[in-house]
Structure 1
């Protein structure tokens, strides 16, 4: 276990933690060559358990024999970069509450046909760009039995550092992938699509026909404008969550959690 103490920002080994943008980390052309940053021992442990490969660790020195000791023991030969808290704050741009970061390799994506083969309830995240909402939707999906997450290319990267942190690592537990065609192309895999939207034709979330469906793709739209009109028109169902006190809608992450619970199989 090589331990390298960092006292400035010039060391090439810590560039992924501070100088690379999310787009550079992601490597769109060759995703399997991209990396991401996982923060906190708990999240890093979940990623390791899901088979993600660590490239290096960055932490306060006290965590080497403390919170990060089991992670280091599980990864022989892992390079550990360490620094005092003020330097870590300068490196990362904010104060770390748990003081441990890991740079990890991304995985090659499984084809949607394989990922969705046995799924009965999935969520489609369409053009959601807020990282907090992405992380929260994944956490609800994992907790409430959603078997896969499919994202349109206009959505935020789930392996964004903040999204991973908000999800508490559940992004590593639920299969997910990108949808390159229109949302209604999921019908090719045997799913009925459920557009969560307020229209004159929307049925309530507890409509009995919904639970009777064998395979549902629950489509959640962007935070501001909601789903595109074509997505709504092409959906098998348009669904609303009944509201009280004149409230017209919920935040997309909250609405997703309600829909997941009600439509669980």
Structure 2
């Protein structure tokens, strides 16, 4: 259902309004039950994972590239406009082909997720969407069963997180913990050994952690600036470090996650 848009104030495209306003979007999208998939690859991965579109949004030149997909969703609006009109609506030049507003899925059941997982990642208060997306991409590539995010952590289904993850956020089950660090006890009750990545005196090395081969392992990663909170470290079973060469304090949280996921991958 192709609909041509020639007015940036058209209420039918309100899902796409002001995509660069992070504060607006992080309230609007969960409240209205949507998320935005950006680029042809991400849209295809979202649809392949079973997510349902609310609408599509693109310039006319990209219609042929999505023709095979649009044929299966001929009842869904496809909003088409000039590059100038679309830029006024979303706030930037849309050069990645197309976007889709998708119905946000129901949250995963935490108990079921923990019961069916052996190795999970827990992200404490990570607010940078690029890092969130990168962690999910590493989790998908390196066999992490699920990702849990704390209440103050950024939204994994925010547009930038999805794009940086290359759509792999749709492959890895995830859930938001209702409380933190109280949620650590939930992990212990589910049989997980909790391992906090932190540079403290009694830390194991990541190789020593891998050698333990814990049956159920939760790797806890902290915020970009301050790392994990003291309350979190006090409640976890283990502290774990990635040894650094002289003169380097630590890795970015996204890089650290990739190292930790690879080192503890039971397939190796």
Q: Distance in 2 between matches of 1:247 and 1:126?
A: 23
Q: Which residue number corresponds to residue 22 of structure 1? A: 26
Compute the displacement of 1:76 (Å). Answer: 2.5
Compute the displacement of 1:246 (Å). Answer: 1.6
Q: Which residue number corresponds to residue 21 of structure 2? A: none
Q: Which residue number corresponds to residue 30 of structure 1? A: none
Is the 8 Å Cα contact of residues 210 and 264 (structure 2) preserved in structure 1? no
Q: Distance in 2 between matches of 1:209 and 1:143?
A: 18
- TM-score computed with the length of structure 2 as normaliser: 0.93
Q: Deviations for 1:32-69, whole angstroms, at most 9, x for unmatched residues?
A: x51010001110111111111100000111211x2211
Instruction: Provide closer, same or farther for how the CA distance between residues 210 and 179 of structure 1 changes in structure 2, counting only shifts above 3 A.
Output: farther
Q: Deviations for 1:74-110, whole angstroms, at most 9, x for unmatched residues?
A: 2131110001112222221112222200000011112
Gaps of 5+ in 1: 28-32
- TM-score computed with the length of structure 1 as normaliser: 0.94
Q: Distance in 1 between matches of 2:74 and 2:184?
A: 46
Q: Does 1:59 align with 2:40?
A: no
Q: Deviations for 1:218-258, whole angstroms, at most 9, x for unmatched residues?
A: 00000000001111121111000000032010000000000
Compute the displacement of 1:184 (Å). Answer: 1.6
Q: Distance in 1 between matches of 2:84 and 2:211?
A: 53
Q: Distance in 1 between matches of 2:82 and 2:163?
A: 22
Q: Which residue number corresponds to residue 231 of structure 1? A: 232
Instruction: Provide closer, same or farther for how the CA distance between residues 209 and 47 of structure 1 changes in structure 2, counting only shifts above 3 A.
Output: closer
User: Over aligned residue pairs, what C-alpha RMSD do you find?
Assistant: 1.3
Q: Distance in 2 between matches of 1:175 and 1:168?
A: 15
Q: Distance in 1 between matches of 2:53 and 2:240?
A: 42
Q: Which residue number corresponds to residue 115 of structure 1? A: 113
Matched length: 258
SS of the aligned residue for 1:91 comes to helix
Is the 8 Å Cα contact of residues 209 and 240 (structure 2) preserved in structure 1? no
Is the 8 Å Cα contact of residues 57 and 103 (structure 1) preserved in structure 2? yes
Gaps of 5+ in 2: 19-23
Instruction: Provide closer, same or farther for how the CA distance between residues 44 and 250 of structure 1 changes in structure 2, counting only shifts above 3 A.
Output: same
SS of the aligned residue for 1:21 comes to helix
